[in-house]
Amino acid sequence: MDGLTPLSRLVVLGATGSIGRQTLDVASSLGLDVVALAANRATDEFAALAVVHPGAALALAGGSDVERSALAAQFGSRIDFGPAAVAALAAIPGTTVVNGIVGAAGLEPSVAALEAGNRLALGNKESLVAGGPVVIAAAERGGGELIPVDSEHSALWQSLVGENPESIRRLILTASGGPFLGKSADHLASVSVQEALAHPTWDMGPRITIDSATLMNKAFEVIEAHYLFGVGYDAIDVVVHPQSVIHSLVEYVDGSVKAQLGDPDMRVPIQYAITYPERMPAAIAPLDLTGSPLTFESPDRGSFPCLDLGFEAGRRGGSAPAVLNAADEVAVAAFLGEKIGFRDIARVVSATLDIVPHRALTSVAEVLDADGEARRAASDLVSAAL
């Protein structure tokens, strides 16, 4: 990028994950300065990234004492440990923070980035799902800029540039339908972890891949869209579009519909979140519209009840979306560990929403309390199902 602007100084959280690695690709192709890297575990991959980016400050949320000592011996004062160290990187002034952390652990760094007045390129949708009101308040307090990385929300964002938000009639989120599109509820009772991890169009981390298979990912995206664009749940629709070429659409009060299209490649929305409002060249193959027909259908809400659980939790507001997310994190981990079946994910989430008392959320601490309570309830339900 010509001339170093604050936006060209990048903090990459979740640097070893799918979003993190693709962010580092974008950074390398745009010649951006990677000033900080964070991850969770003391992996060889994290150490290798630290060597490739010798100027970057480092933070690791997890790791054993032995692993931390070894890393401290290798990287000295460049590295710090624990969740607070990750959040501290997000608060480095004058940076663009790409949050590619998975799960509710991404909330505190998101809040820290926005409170510090940084641009937050948000991959970690759980920040908004679990703590939407808290994240929006942090942006208002600190003046930080919140730009979505999720491809659907980037498409909505791009379709809204130059428009008056009051002229939105409807947001239409597209969903690939995941690997089990068209399958009956009976069929879903016996699907394996490997089948659920085989996403047809996107190559992502394991949790979001399972969430895509249950449609919980789309439920999260509905809540994310609600907070990002201030649109009510009655004005957010979901349509299944298996080719994942139209990434989402905005319908306006005059009947016009604007959309953003492209082959599925997360480097496009990641780069846009970093360079917005500019566009920079990228080595992305041109879209071939004659390649395959674009098709659309309604989601099967009976076989995939997680979608309506998301609408329900979103409408309830307060702690309900945080409970939805935490219960799902526990249930997906149990499914990946082959402790529960695929359809049990929705059962565990639904029962957790019934058990955990509903309350308003005004601080990160309250979000984390609701998150913890939901995790305990969901874990008990998983154990009872064994």
Ligand X SMILES: NC(=O)c1ccc[n+]([C@@H]2O[C@H](COP(=O)([O-])OP(=O)(O)OC[C@H]3O[C@@H](n4cnc5c(N)ncnc54)[C@H](OP(=O)(O)O)[C@@H]3O)[C@@H](O)[C@H]2O)c1
**Which residues lie near ligand X (CB under 6 A)?**
14-20, 38-41, 43, 46, 61, 83, 86, 100-102, 105, 123-126, 150, 202, 204-205, 208, 266
Name which of 72 and 355 has its Cβ closer to ligand X.
Answer: 72
Nearest distance from C-beta of residue 207 to ligand X, angstroms: 6
Name which of 15 and 313 has its Cβ closer to ligand X.
Answer: 15
145-148 sheet: strands from edge to edge? 79-81, 57-60, 33-39, 9-13, 96-99, 119-122, 145-148
Name which of 10 and 351 has its Cβ closer to ligand X.
Answer: 10
Name which of 123 and 299 has its Cβ closer to ligand X.
Answer: 123
Nearest distance from C-beta of residue 135 to ligand X, angstroms: 13
- Tell me how far apart the alpha carbons of residues 379 and 373 are, in angstroms, rounded to a whole number: 10
Nearest distance from C-beta of residue 23 to ligand X, angstroms: 9
Name which of 226 and 351 has its Cβ closer to ligand X.
Answer: 226
Nearest distance from C-beta of residue 37 to ligand X, angstroms: 9
Nearest distance from C-beta of residue 59 to ligand X, angstroms: 8
Q: By C-alpha distance, which of 313, 86, 341 is closest to 216?
A: 313
Nearest distance from C-beta of residue 153 to ligand X, angstroms: 9
Kindly give, in sequence order, each residue whose CB lies less than 8 Å from that of residue 348, ignoring residues fewer than 6 positions away: 327, 330, 331, 334, 340, 378, 381, 382, 385
- Tell me how far apart the alpha carbons of residues 136 and 94 are, in angstroms, rounded to a whole number: 19
Tell me how far CA of residue 386 lies from CA of 327, 330, 355, 380, 382, in angstroms. Answer: 16, 14, 19, 10, 7
User: Which residue has its beta carbon closest to ligand X?
Assistant: 17
Sign of CA dihedral 331, 335, 148, 224: negative
Tell me how far CA of residue 368 lies from CA of 130, 323, 341, in angstroms. Answer: 9, 10, 27
Name which of 269 and 305 has its Cβ closer to ligand X.
Answer: 269
Name which of 325 and 350 has its Cβ closer to ligand X.
Answer: 325
Name which of 211 and 344 has its Cβ closer to ligand X.
Answer: 211
- Residue indicated by tokens 């085989």: 198
Chain centroid to CA 316: 21
